[in-house]
């Protein structure tokens, strides 16, 4: 068994070897530019992009023409939110989001505020869910878009997406969902879910880093956004720049594999996640954060009472690669804004860990993980008690 055991799949997933295999020819022999229309190198690349686009679209129930390739979810989020605002034509200047969004959404919202827009940040319940009455009440005749993530990256909590989209539709407001953690892990269907804009990232679903997509609805309603990167008018002039052909091939293959494995893999991963969780819950003073009913199958976020979170992380990380929150904020010692929004104290938030499993996680890795974590926490608590007694 390779140590440390990798339980940080929400930060990034290892690439599936089948994805790498599909990509390799597009670095060497099939190196063409997908926009080159005058020779076979370009046609081959374009064909590969078309297949990738189809595979990505299929995973989310979209039409291929609704997929705009980007460098990842952060760019997709910026394009969706800024793109809607800059295209508002004076129709409005307000948006609604929630306090537990990923930093990519929150920082883009801050940019909107600095540029003349208004943002309402909805609170969440102890379970991490937005209140639908609060949401509806926050809508004004100046509201352009509701931006609520599909599932949270720290706790895995899944928002009531179809209810949110019904409210958005009723008030003629667009609905953007950051589905970076959900796509490939649970069924996501932009039609059934009533989503108008949706962000995805390949490296969260066993594809390569540096490639992602924004879904942009083409009818009922047709969504029009302003481009944020100008140049050669690629991607229907929504995102200029030479297409990352190997990345798109890998992204497409990764989506195809997720689609084929969705049911089986979900059951297996959930079984292992529940096993890890129930074994760790045997330790006194241990809690699970966020909704346990509406939750992604591969994440558990757990708090451990009576420990020093910082020291614990340092000890655990030698043998189990987990994290204290999102990868973007794992270097900070500030408590997670997500856990604080659920009502956790600073010290409890700092003593919380996200364990996220993946397609390649095995039962023996999970058994080893809870054995190690239990041992470290028990040792750690005894040491803390001894030092408190001697002071």
Ligand X SMILES: Cc1ncc(COP(=O)(O)O)c(C=O)c1O
Helix, coil or strand: residue 113: helix
Query: What are 303's strand-pairing partners?
Result: 287, 352
- Min separation Cβ 243 and ligand X, Å: 17
Phi-psi region of 69 (alpha: psi -120 to 50; beta: other; left: phi over 0): beta
Q: Which residue is nearest to ligand X (CB)?
A: 72
Alpha helices, DSSP H, located in 208-357: 234-237, 245-280, 309-316, 337-341, 346-350
Q: List Cα–Cα distances, 62 to 126, 189, 215, 244, 386, in angstroms.
A: 33, 7, 8, 21, 59
In the complex, which residues of this chain contact ligand X (CB under 6 A)?
72-74, 102, 104, 149, 153, 178, 180-181, 201, 212, 326-327
Contact 205, 254 (CB under 8 A): yes
Is the CB of 49 or the CB of 296 nearer to ligand X? 296
Say which residues have a Cβ less than 8 Å from residue 305's Cβ, sequence separation at least 6. 284, 285, 286, 287, 348, 351
List 98, 109, 317, 328, catalytic entry: 328
Nearer to ligand X, 102 or 324 (CB): 102
Structural tokens at position 176: 């953007």
Residues 276, 366 contacting (CB under 8 angstroms): yes
Return the number of the residue (148 or 272) whose C-beta is nearest ligand X. 148
Q: Peptide bond before 4: cis, by omega within 30 degrees of 0?
A: yes
Q: Least Å distance between CB 315 and ligand X?
A: 25
Angle (deg, nearest 10), helices 40-59 and 245-280: 30
Nearer to ligand X by C-beta: 13 or 181? Answer: 181
Which is nearer to ligand X, 183 or 373 (by Cβ)? Answer: 183
Shortest Cβ 21–ligand X spacing (Å): 22
d(CA 160, CA 181): 15
**Does 328 qualify as catalytic in the annotation?**
yes
Residue among 131, 122, 129, 72 nearest 98 (CA) = 122
Pick 117 or 156: Cβ nearer ligand X: 156
Rounded CA gap, 209 and 251, in Å? 9
Residue 110 or 327 having the CB closest to ligand X: 327
CB 23 to ligand X: min, Å: 17
Residue 167 has φ and ψ, to the nearest 5°, of -65, -45
Give the nearest distance from C-beta 102 to ligand X in angstroms: 4
- Smallest gap from residue 108 Cβ to ligand X (A): 10
Nearest Cα to 322, choosing from 345, 351, 295?
351
How near is the Cβ of 78 to ligand X at its closest, in Å? Answer: 10
**Residues involved in catalysis:** 328
């Amino acid at each position: 068994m390779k140590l440390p055991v990798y339980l940080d799949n929400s930060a990034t997933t290892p690439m599936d070897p089948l994805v790498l295999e599909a990509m390799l020819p597009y670095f060497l022999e099939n190196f063409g530019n997908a926009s080159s229309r005058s020779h076979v190198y370009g046609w081959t690349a374009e064909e590969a992009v078309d297949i990738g686009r189809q595979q990505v679209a299929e995973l989310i129930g979209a039409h291929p023409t609704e997929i705009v390739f980007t460098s990842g979810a952060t760019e997709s989020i910026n394009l969706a939110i800024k793109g809607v605002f800059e295209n508002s034509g004076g129709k409005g200047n307000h948006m609604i989001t929630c306090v537990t969004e990923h930093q990519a959404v929150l920082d883009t919202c801050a940019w909107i505020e600095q540029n003349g827009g208004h943002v309402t940040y909805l609170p969440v319940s102890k379970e991490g869910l937005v209140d639908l009455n609060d949401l509806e009440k926050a809508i004004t005749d100046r509201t352009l878009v509701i931006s609520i993530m599909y599932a949270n990256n720290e706790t895995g909590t899944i928002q009531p997406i179809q209810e949110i989209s019904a409210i958005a539709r009723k008030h003629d407001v667009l609905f953007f969902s950051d589905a970076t953690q959900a796509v490939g892990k649970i069924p996501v269907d932009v039609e059934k879910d009533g989503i108008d804009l949706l962000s995805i990232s390949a490296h969260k679903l066993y594809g390569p880093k540096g490639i992602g997509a924004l879904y942009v609805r083409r009818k009922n309603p047709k969504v029009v956004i302003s481009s944020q990167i100008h140049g050669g008018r690629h991607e229907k002039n929504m995102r200029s720049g030479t297409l990352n052909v190997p990345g798109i091939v890998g992204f497409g293959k990764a989506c195809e594999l997720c689609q084929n494995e969705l049911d089986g893999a979900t059951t297996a991963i959930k079984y292992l996640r529940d096993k890890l969780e129930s074994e760790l819950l045997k330790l006194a003073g241990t809690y699970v954060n966020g909704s346990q009913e509406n939750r992604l199958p591969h994440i558990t976020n757990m708090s451990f009472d009576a420990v020093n979170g910082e020291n614990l992380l340092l000890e655990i990380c030698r043998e189990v690669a987990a994290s204290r929150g999102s990868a973007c904020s794992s270097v900070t010692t500030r408590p997670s804004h997500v856990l604080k929004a659920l009502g956790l104290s600073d010290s409890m938030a700092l003593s919380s860990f996200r364990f996220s499993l993946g397609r390649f996680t095995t039962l023996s890795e999970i058994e080893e993980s809870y054995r190690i974590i239990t041992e470290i926490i028990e040792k750690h608590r005894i040491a803390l008690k001894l030092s408190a007694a001697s002071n």
